[in-house]
Amino acid sequence: MIHKDCYGTILLVWLICAPLAYLIMRFIPWPFISYPLCTIPMFFMGFVLFFFRVPSRVRVGADNQVTSVADGKIVVIDKVVENEYIKGECLQVSVYMDFFNVHVNYWPIDGNVTYYKYHPGKYMLAFLPKASELNEHTSVAVRSTYGDVFFKQIAGTFARRIVCHANPGADVVKSDECGIIKFGSRIDMYLPLDAVIKVKLGDTVRGSETVIAELNK
């Protein structure tokens, strides 16, 4: 299944790559040159379909367990001061997504959306510490029975569009899709100080299927 918000991007890539492949085959008469060159645009046509796939995922963990918003690698686990929504100390867990990760995002816990804001910004490399504040990103807070979970979808150098389905006041269900970030990017999750972190730096995680933390009941 291909993500519905990515049809336009896929069409654009195909409209560029298909004529390019045709021109290569049409005007380069030497097969030992034209065939290898033609594989480049054809590769990109296939890659965008692979990249924007929506995998089948299952809900895991107890209701008080926070699951990953995205696929990727854990690059930050730290106690920080978050000034936008929490306005105090909390635990930050960040997931970095590369080109080969699924970029669909999932709600990390059952609850009610209490906050949403879009922030225009720069397009620094997503794994840099300042990217969380300076890059284009969205901020979303979900209030659950066990406390608030706040997260940011952060654009990277090549990620120029963030799709977020957060609507303040709406109830959301853990593991349902909450949006997508196109191309390389990052998710920052902010959790209560008493949350028990279940991952470590360098771990590979899967959206909706890896438990990130457990909140106190």
Sequence letter at residue 82: E
- Backbone phi and psi for residue 198, each to the nearest 5 degrees, phi listed first: -110, 5
Point out the catalytic residue in the list 94, 132, 175, 185: 185
For residues 45 and 11, the answer to whether their CB atoms sit within 8 Å is: no
Q: How far apart are CA 34 and CA 24, in angstroms?
A: 6
Q: Which residues pair with 138 in a beta bridge?
A: 118, 153
For residue 213 the two structure tokens come to: 């933390």
Asked if 208 is an active-site residue, the reply is no
Alpha helix (H) residue ranges in 52-124: none
Helices (H) and strands (E) in the chain, counts: 3, 14
CA 164 to chain centre: 10
Q: How far apart are CA 72 and CA 97, in angstroms?
A: 5
Active site residues: 185
